Structure 1
Amino acid sequence: MSESSAPSQSGLREFWAQLPVEGRWLLSTVAVQTLGRGLTLPFTVIYLHEVRGISLDLAGLLMAFIAVVALVVTGPGGALTDRYGARRMLLWGTSAQLVGCVILAFATTPAVVALAFVFLGFNFGVAWPAFNALVAAITTGPARQQYFGINFALVNLGIGLGGVIGGLYADVTRPSTFTVIFLADAASMLVPIGLLVGPLRHVHGRAEKPEGESAAAGSYLTILRNPAVLWVTVLTFLGVFIGYGQMEAGFPAFARQVSQVSTSVIGFAFAVNTAVIVGLQFFVLRRITGRRRTRILMVMAALWALAWLVLGLTGFAAGSVAAAGGVLAFHAAFALGETLLQPTIPAITNDLAPDHLRGRYNAVNAGAFQSGTILGPVVAGFMLGHHWSAAFIAMIVVGCALMVALAFAVERRITPSVNGLQDGGPAPEPGTVTPAQAKGSAGTVS
């Protein structure tokens, strides 16, 4: 895949044409397999609290438990990805997600919910490093950033459609509707499982360790001693804590308890999120290609601060049309920030990583993500459970300001190339495969 295949230069059609077969398969089923996730993502906290009668504090702790499990398995998962390949780890993780959703569909007690979340956490901890390592093995340079961005848009297309369907169908007065959507989430896992045991059964994503390199060179301690990796890890943690950790737990809780909007409004808010991402991701990719990724993250932090301020203002008009509009506006601004975040952090991480350590580097980044999702729901549940809504919003806005400072710190510690700046050489002709790309593609097929 050449730079000219990226959507910023030749359009989406040319990007698709230049993708290896493995990349096409991975992208072609993303929206379908994430549809089930969208059915349940906006409503899990509501399901636990309003349907199963679990207190908001405990619901927040249970949501955080998913990330605790994920964090525990992320390190071993990254090492196993480097050793055995991404396909095998993705298969195990996706199968665990299926089992967890089935258990959650019928869970009526906190203990059974926790059991279901063990399986969900295992998937989140194992599958993310494996998937990113696989993507990095089949793409390189600017095209890698483009791939992560396009994949993110397709993920949100599936999640957003699922959110609309779930919002229209799920009803807190009819617990069976929640059982149905969690079973549908489980069924959607059959798509990636079929892909991994079928068309992608020969894909592994491994790279051999350089001859003479010691085992200590690939340890997590050695990786974290790299200042660039350490600061990117801290930045990821904070971004997830004030972003996704709050969007999945803090946002729906705030929207229901403070803004006092219906579940349908929450579902449509996620649809707005999807519409913005799908509608603007390709435009954003064109605008950010060749620009400093750290500066892009600073703009993202400003957008997120604005989004949370808008959500906070809805509390002054609780239950009104204005509150519903504010909830929708929150997700529009938040989504625009997401289009800046998702192509950049994975690209920085994988451009820093040696080929044979991609699993571990992505595991470090995933560990930071999981840590943020552990703390996020706990803090949201505690603060909103005690009606500290104003302090909750203020905390997130301050966190956005800290993200800007961390992005500056990262910028001083990574090379211009890792930061997304072009080398200045002429772009290869369409269809040209560079030696590095040939190496990456060769590492994906056994």
Structure 2
Amino acid sequence: MRRIQAGNVLSAFGLGFTVPYLYVYVAQVRDLGAGTAGAVLAVFAMAALVVLPFTGRAIDRRGPLPVLVGAALLAAVGALGMGLAGSVVTVVGAAALLGAGTAVMQPALATMIVWCSSPETRTRAFATQFFLQNLGLGIGGLIGGQLVDESRPDSFLLLFSIEAVMFLVLAGIAVTVRMPRTPSIGQAPRDGNAKGGLRALLGHRAMVQLCVLGFVLFFACYGQFESGLAAYGTEAAGIEPSALGMALAANTAVIVVAQFLVLRFVERRRRTRVIAWVGLIWTVAWLFAGYAGLGHGSQAMATAAFIATYGLFGLGEAMLSPTVAPLVADLAPESMVGQYNSAFALVKQLALAVGPAVGGPMGAALHGPYIVTFVLFSLGITLLAVRLGRRLTPAQDHPYLVAKSRVVAQHKPDDQRVTV
């Protein structure tokens, strides 16, 4: 597990190095124009939508290790190609390789965490993964920002080369991992006969409800961070670019500080109740955003409210990370863990694609309707979470209580053990 988490933080560090600067690199440094830069960002996202439907079955048939290694090597080639690209064709091709490789890593790493954890330890394992991802992205972005220089294309080549090296190191670490056999999953399928498929997944009502809930979660939060909410802040609230950077930094800081503080609270409560609380917290966050842009306070108050919006989003994210991903794993049949993880990753990617397309124009021009829409989406999260809870077993919704009850039932005063 330690090796998997180390590889996870390295890949996040590499992405944080370059992703914030893709637009500037393509449009200005390579002088390919804003249209090409937009196409590169679109290809980066679309590549994930293309490969994720096939990723899950590959993971379940071949195991997550070879899939992760292949994805890391593909991403390394894409990163290096991006640093060397000088034409529209080469930069778009490199973006496709980089986007596909990084997208496949997510369900592969998630499946490895499932295989290396038990239901009792899975919550903390996914919380650690999310914490390290944000830490790696934040540190990578900070260091990358100190190295880039728009007047020196070589500085960007250095960034993309370091990113490629990080992916190669991830592949090297993955090769050394020996996946254990745990009671929580049994023997991983190795004969290529992973049963199920899309029809079986769509027939699983609880998983379908969780995917709908996941889409709303990602659409109402991550899909708005750098598009609709940023446009709303600058247009309606008059937020300066430096303040927008402070808001993003506040989001990351809250996640890093709060992740393990809220973990004990989260893991002792029903997962769907935690998700319902996140919906309420994000409702308050959107009300803060509404005050920032539509209220009549001072500019300082508007800026503070806008930064608080991002901070509240971070608190909700810290509560979700040990909740949603383990729930996907616990819903999955043993032979379909990879397919369930990939399906949920695909839902996230769809939300990240649709979110900016819907939220961007609304945030820039329709300020009041934009806030009302996402207040309603946040309340919808709470409603969907409560409905999902009715379909889950106690072991799926509250594994901590079930594990605790099992330990109490197995203990006798004379310290003898009985089978229950």
- Normalising by structure 1, what TM-score? 0.77
**CA shift at 1:112, angstroms?**
4.8
Offset at residue 296 of structure 1 (A): 0.7
Specify the alignment match of 1:336 in structure 2: 315
Q: 2:346 aligns with which of 361, 367, 373?
A: 367
How far 1:122 moved relative to its partner?
1.3
Structure 1 pair 120–382 and aligned structure 2 pair: CA distance change class (3 A):
farther
Aligned partner of 2:203 among 220, 225, 233 = 225
Say which of 271, 279, 294 aligns to 2:257.
279
Q: Which residue of 2 aligns with 1:15?
A: none
The worse-fitting range, judged by mean Cα deviation, of 420-429 and 328-337 is 420-429
Distance 1:243-1:120 versus aligned 2 partners, 3 A rule: farther
Which of 357, 363, 378 is the equivalent residue of 2:357?
Answer: 378
Stretch moving more, 76-85 or 123-132:
123-132
Pairing 1:11-22 to 2, within 5 Å after superposition: none
Deviations along 1:218-273, one digit per CA (max 9) or x if unpaired, are: 12111211100110111111111122222244445555666565655444433322
Structure 1 position 426 matched with structure 2 position 375: no
Residue 62 of structure 1, CA deviation: 5.0
Instruction: Name which of 328, 333, 339 aligns with 1:349.
Output: 328
Following TM superposition, by how much is the alpha carbon of 1:416 offset from its aligned partner in structure 2, in angstroms?
A: 1.6
Contact 1:258/1:318, CA 8 A, preserved across alignment: no
After superposition, the Cα gap between the structure-2 partners of 1:41 and 1:331, relative to the gap in structure 1 and judged at 3 Å, is farther
Please tell me the residue identity of whatever aligns with 2:128. Answer: I
Task: Look up the match of 1:16.
Answer: none
Structure 2 counterpart SS, 1:139:
coil
1:176-255, aligned counterparts within 5 Å?
Answer: 180-197=158-175, 199-200=176-177, 202-203=178-179, 207-208=187-188, 217-254=195-232
Cα distance in structure 1, aligned partners of 2:373 and 2:260:
32
Amino acid at match of 1:418: Q
Supply the AA of the counterpart residue of 1:368.
V
Which residue of the other structure, out of 45, 67, 72, is the alignment partner of 1:94? 72
The one-character-per-residue Cα deviations of 1:114-146 (angstroms, maximum 9, x if unpaired) are 323312331243222211111111111131011
Aligned residues: 400
Mapped contact 2:283–2:378 kept (Cα < 8 A): yes
- Give the 3-state SS of the residue equivalent to 2:407 in structure 1: coil
Partner of 2:417: none
CA contact (8 A) 1:60 1:377 kept: no
- Residue 57 of structure 2, aligned match among 69, 79, 93: 79
Unaligned runs of 5+ residues in structure 1 are: 1-22, 430-446
1:160 to 138, 141, 160: 138
Shift of 1:322: 5.0
3-state SS in 2 of match to 1:142: coil
Contact between 1:70 and 1:125, CA under 8 Å: does it hold in 2?
yes
Aligned to 1:434: none
Name the amino acid aligned to 2:18. T
Distance in 1, Cα, partners of 2:84 & 2:307: 31
CA offsets 1:167-211 (integer angstroms, 9 cap, x no match)? 5555667776555544443332233122123x22x4498945599
Secondary structure at 1:118 match in 2:
helix
TM-score with structure 2 length normalisation? 0.82
Q: Tell me which structure has the larger Cα radius of gyration.
A: 2
- TM-align CA RMSD: 3.5
Pick closer, same or farther for the CA change 1:326–1:347 going to 2, 3 Å. Answer: same
Cα deviation, residue 104, structure 1: 3.7
Q: Which residue of 1 aligns with 2:418?
A: none
Structure with greater contact order relative to length (CA < 8 Å, sep ≥ 6): 1
